Amino acid sequence: MNNRNTLGRTGLEAFKIGFGAGVIGNSMMYPKVDDTLSRQLIRTALSQGIDFIDTAFLYGLGHSEELIGEAIRKHGERERLILSTKASTNPQFTESGLQVDNSPAALRQAVDDSLTRLQTDYIDIFFMHFPYSSTPLAESAHTLAELKKSGKIRAVGASNLTFQQLQEFNADGHLDVLQAEYSLLVRQPEADVIPYCLEHGISLIPFFPLASGLLAGGYKKGEVFTDTSRLNNPLFQKDAYNANLDRVEQLKALAQIKGVSPAQISLAWLLTRPGVDLIMPGATKPEQIESNLQTLTVHLTPEDIAHLEIIFNQGSPSGRN
């Protein structure tokens, strides 16, 4: 079995399982993950053969990039790794939501700053993290395309775009890689985003591939959430949450039959989807990285995939379908 893929038209080839480094250096959101554990997670990913690491400035306001840069300098073999990071310059949390600066000057400075923190002279994929800026999206895309021509970045990326924003950003065909929320419980990209990406040769990398942990099977009915990430998440609202847990119970039954975990089934399903070249699940424990890699041993038959479609396209609301 070939466990490597080329990302769209980028020419970049990577292992199908990457490492989403959202917890690395991000003690504000993950207080239990200190620098010692962060370094251990990065070392585990690299030692297990993972060659794609995705981070962002917003993960610890640059500290995630610093820890990854430090680890890669010690590890060596930069040329065989694919590093991606995301710009969210001057983030402001206003009453209307997050606002960032995606102006040409800000994006150029963001790339230079990330190069310094990552201790490298090029970034494989550089993403505009959020579209919430006064700068027109096509202008931001053009700036990243210029940085690609300069050699500072090798591919242009964008994240968190609606379908309309995706079209605006890619008006001149600059987009190479898109990050979008996509999982068994979040299927909207199938309606318009994925067909558009396939038509334009854009590689899709899902984020929240386990639906903020729901698809891992560890939640129970009646739980009370106090963190804003779940309080504001439609998947965790009462009726949708209970319906989602019912679906996950059926997912667990299938996983038990196949002798694997619900998370591995969910990740393996994503790798069967058109336009998805790789996935980058995160981890808060080294053993979770090893478990994620076991996804590549999971074989989903056409009957399994059809069964998953029945489970996750039932009439009750999931919150995002």
264 half-sphere exposure, CB direction, 13 A CA radius: 21
pLDDT value at position 170? Answer: 98
Task: Tell me phi and psi for residue 177, to 5 degrees.
Answer: -140, 135
pLDDT value at position 279? Answer: 97
Single pTM value for the model: 0.93
User: Which of 156, 87, 145, 84 shows the shortest CA–CA distance to 118?
Assistant: 84
Strand pairing category for 13-15 and 4-6:
antiparallel
Structure tokens at 199: 């038509």
Asked whether 235 and 186 are in contact (CB, 8 A), the reply is yes
Asked whether 279 and 270 are in contact (CB, 8 A), the reply is yes
How many other β-carbons are positioned within 10 Å of the β-carbon of residue 292? 27
How many other β-carbons are positioned within 10 Å of the β-carbon of residue 18? 22
pLDDT value at position 95? Answer: 75
pLDDT value at position 315? Answer: 46
User: Which of 16, 12, 8, 7 shows the shortest CA–CA distance to 199?
Assistant: 8
Rounded Cα–Cα distance for residues 29 and 70 (Å)? 21
pLDDT tens series, the chain, 321 aa: 689 999 999 999 999 999 999 999 998 888 899 999 999 999 999 999 999 999 999 999 999 999 999 999 999 999 999 999 999 988 888 777 788 999 999 999 999 999 999 999 999 999 999 999 999 999 999 999 999 999 999 999 999 999 999 999 999 999 999 999 999 999 999 999 999 999 999 999 999 999 989 999 989 988 887 776 777 889 999 889 999 999 999 999 999 999 999 999 999 999 999 999 999 999 999 999 999 999 999 999 999 999 999 999 854 445 555
Give the end-to-end CA distance of the chain in Å, rounded to a whole number. 32
Active site residues: 59
Asked whether 28 and 85 are in contact (CB, 8 A), the reply is no
User: What beta strand segments (E) does 146-252 contain?
Assistant: 156-159, 177-181, 203-207
Residue 94 pairs in a beta bridge with 97
pLDDT value at position 316? Answer: 43
> For residue 8, what are the contacts with CB-CB under 8 A and spacing of at least 6?
176, 177, 197, 201, 202, 203, 277
Rounded Cα–Cα distance for residues 170 and 174 (Å)? 6
The amino acid that residue 311 corresponds to is: I
